[in-house]
Amino acid sequence: MFAKILIANRGEIACRVIRTARRMGVRTVAVYSDADAGALHVEMADEAVHIGASPVGESYLRGDKIVAAALATGAEAIHPGYGFLSENPDFVDQVTAAGLVFIGPSAASIRAMGLKDAAKRLMEKAGVPVVPGYHGEAQEIVLLASKAREIGYPVLIKARAGGGGKGMRRVEHPDDFSEALSGARREAKAAFGDDRVLVEKYVEKPRHIEVQVFGDIFGNVVHLYERDCSAQRRHQKVIEEAPAPGMTPALRKAMTEAAVKAAKAIDYSGAGTIEFIVDASQGLKADRFWFMEMNTRLQVEHPVTEMVTGTDLVEWQLRVASGEKLPKTQSEITLSGHAFEARIYAEDAAKGFLPATGTLHHLKFPDTAPEGASMRIETGVRTGDAISPFYDPMIAKLVVHGKNRQAALEALGTALSQTEIAGSTVNTAFLAALAADADFSAGDVDTGLIGRHQQALTAAPPPSSEIVAAAALAASGAGAQAPSNDPWSSLAGYSHFHAIARRTRLRHGEDDILALVSMRPDGRFQVALDAPYDRALDLRAAPRLARWPGHVTVFSGAVGYSFAVPDPLARADEIAAGADSLRAPMPGLVKLVRAAKGEAVIKGQPLLILEAMKMEHTISATHDGTIAEIATEGAQVTDGTVLVRFAEEAHG
């Protein structure tokens, strides 16, 4: 076994590899860019090496810098994770030429599966079923259009290089073929530097089912059953599960045998995934699946396979790469229960899943797994970390396992409803809506499900008056929890003659909200909401919420409602400029008076200190003038109380 490895990646997968390596007694070296100097994977690793600026082209895609870092730190092998250089055969050559071990397949295996058209021709020779289509080298438009007619519409034009839905077009009619081909080629050229395409039969109700395979250098290859990754948006996976719902023994046998055959055809060693497209229009049948492509690396969704097979695939990677045989034979690998993985992203589902950025001011996952289930959180971020525009905006993978699909699905919904994230727009509400979707719950999934239901799945329900009231209470500071041993906590908001009312303003979307918060004699708070709510609600304790700079987020299930809280002092200055008086922007105590009646003051001069919400706020003159009246030191004031009045001649 290796003594030390370098991880040529970042974020969640780097942390994932580090955990297994640490358990196995293997030391780890992290690499990082400028943006990741304080990242979790850097903190977790035994050593860390800076490799460049934040853009990936200057850091995580610099194979020369990564190899140099491995040599400088004495690492014996490099784990690529997924993405970046994980499927780059030239990088594998760099690693091996330096005398290091690449923890993954050979460069030859990666090249064999790197181009979709060549891979499909290879699979045809190996007896693996492929989608009816044209996978040849000729790219003339007349030939491609002719092949499309032979295949029969609808057809799918696909870039032969890359993935992720780029360079892909569905064509319904021959008249649309030319324009679709031009668009696919432009996109493929921009994304992969290769505008060549293949043309395939479009499957009407496609299921994306993939088989996890694993090989060693002794020629042994096993499968670890299948995963269903049909829940996709923009050809990107959202929720994955294992095993596939509705899977029949006949189809599983046919698919797993084909997957092992595919891996053996290229002398595969390490973790890999054979992806199949399955026609589910007439149920799952053993003669209705076809090879799509092979991912020659560890998949993002590998944890669901680990959960249902009781394996650690990263451990297997390290063992096989160090020259050991596969840890288990095929007969020793069994299925148990059902698992789901939900990818939690910083993205705006309601705006077409646009990536989002921001600082994770509040990040809280469930403390324990839902009853009767097990759970794991795979993440590379902590509270206070920023979602950078330079990298994939994944926050975490929430993985649950139950005794059957229904139990696992219920556990997934519960765990999502207990997840709290504030500071960036996230997709937890969308994930929860998908998990509760009637078709998804029934296992009636295909790659078009999210697209068909997208409006309902991404609809953002407006906050209820109860949620708005809770936000107002939190923003006012009246509901702040004092330590249980604080003898004054029972007097929070108390005034000798009347309850102190705190005026609070909030903004949610385009809505400006005004609320008046006061304490009732029984210890509850009353929150009176202005239009359009026009309600007064009594609250005893604030629900799940997070306060962060200038904002409050209230959590209701998997939805986080964020409200902007305008700075009352800034607003007071804005309103008071040139006015005859200065009013208290919030309830508080006049802690210190720095001017006197009759005194001439200048703009910006501090006049008094107001203590409110456990902080001191300086009230300054908004213009030159003479003080006619000023509040008394020690006075308890309410929102809107006149603190300073200027003599009339100040504006004469």
Closest residue by Cα to residue 300 from 208, 380, 426, 397: 397
CA distance 343 to 49: 28
Task: Specify the DSSP element, H or E, that contains 585.
Answer: none
The phi and psi torsions of 141 (rounded to 5 degrees) equal -60, -35
Residue 476, C-beta contacts closer than 8 angstroms, at least 6 positions apart: 502, 504, 515, 517, 586, 613
Task: Note if 297 is an active site residue.
Answer: yes
Cβ neighbours around 173 below 10 Å, total = 9
CB 533, CB 463: distance < 8 Å: no
CA distance 223 to 328: 10
To which residue do tokens 């996952």 refer? 365
Beta strands 511-519 and 525-529 are: antiparallel
CA distance 521 to 541: 15
CA distance 190 to 196: 12
Closest residue by Cα to residue 553 from 467, 482, 464: 467
CB 366, CB 393: distance < 8 Å: no
Residue 464, C-beta contacts closer than 8 angstroms, at least 6 positions apart: 556
To which residue do tokens 């499309």 refer? 148
The CA dihedral of 596, 598, 601, 603, to the nearest 10 degrees, is 100
CB 622, CB 574: distance < 8 Å: no
Residue 152: DSSP 8-state = -
Strand order in the sheet with 588-593: 615-620, 606-612, 588-593, 636-637
Cβ neighbours around 152 below 10 Å, total = 10
Work out the angle at residue 412's Cα, subtended by the Cα atoms of residues 410 and 416, and round it to the nearest 5 degrees.
Answer: 120
Q: Which of 169, 185, 227, 297 is labelled catalytic?
A: 297
Q: Alpha-carbon Rg of the chain, whole angstroms? A: 31
Task: Tell me which residues are annotated as active site.
Answer: 297
